[in-house]
Amino acid sequence: MKQLTEKQQEILDFLIECIREERYTPTVREIAERFGIKSTNAVRDHLAALERKGCLTRRANTSRGIELAEEYLEKPEGIPIVGRVAAGLPVTAVENLDGYLAFETLFGGNDKLYALRVEGDSMIDDGIWDGDYVIVHEQPSLDNGEIGVAIIDEEATVKRIHRRGKIIELIPANELYQPMEIDPEETPFRIGGKVIGVHRRLR
């Protein structure tokens, strides 16, 4: 991407604001009015420059036919992640900013994910509490000892899952609970996926 002039950047910012925030592509004349430009051709020059520099494309002879390049269409979503707290600044100052916390960025657009609300405290020693959401990657099998979702008789439960020969062992993380053994030939059993995240809402 080539360097933009100040004016070009201003106009690009305006376009981004319009299209991203207002879902509304301005006309050449609207852009001219916004910047106090009296000739549509001046705007045209800027748009041509922006197009040449790869910031946008235009549909010819079409009203409001500006299409922004991909990188300008997404707005940062989620919760700002604060790194070090710089002296004297508010916590969320840009200087402290480390990124954005969002499921999108954390789990990267994976469409085999689902969330499950945990009931009971059988996994409390693994840091999974009653009422937590676990984020699950749907997959048919697990490595031995991984935390996953076991579906027994269509009832979902979160446990550490071991396979010992033909027997499936579900191991809680709470000394008050006993491990459970399942013979898949006797009991309808399947694996719902692997737990890859935990989310808790405090009050």
By annotation, the residues acting in catalysis are 122, 159
Question: Distance (Å, rounded) from C-alpha 151 to C-alpha 136?
Answer: 13
Question: Distance (Å, rounded) from C-alpha 48 to C-alpha 79?
Answer: 36
Q: Least distance to DNA from the beta carbon of 8, Å?
A: 5
Angle at which helix 40-52 crosses helix 6-16, to 10 degrees, equals 90
Applying CB under 7 A, does 30 fall inside the site for DNA? yes
Which residues would be at the binding site for a copy of itself (CB under 8 A)?
Answer: 19, 23-25, 27, 63-64, 67, 73, 77-88, 90-92, 98, 101-104, 106-107, 113-117, 127, 129, 133, 135-136, 138, 147, 149, 151, 154-156, 192-193, 195-203
Residue 43 CB: number of other CB atoms within 10 A?
Answer: 21
Applying CB under 7 A, does 196 fall inside the site for DNA? no
**Chain residues 32-51 in contact with DNA, contact rule CB under 7 A:** 32, 35-42, 44-46, 49
Q: Least distance to a copy of itself from the beta carbon of 20, Å?
A: 8
154 binds, among DNA, a copy of itself, none (CB under 5 to 8 A by kind): a copy of itself
Applying CB under 7 A, does 13 fall inside the site for DNA? no
Which is nearest to 32 in space by CA: 45, 49, 50? Answer: 45
Question: Distance (Å, rounded) from C-alpha 97 to C-alpha 36?
Answer: 35
Phi and psi torsions of 9, nearest 5°: -65, -45
Residue for token digits 């059993």? Answer: 189
Applying CB under 7 A, does 18 fall inside the site for DNA? no
Which residues of this chain interact with DNA, rule CB under 7 A?
Answer: 5-8, 27-30, 32, 35-42, 44-46, 49, 52, 58, 60-65
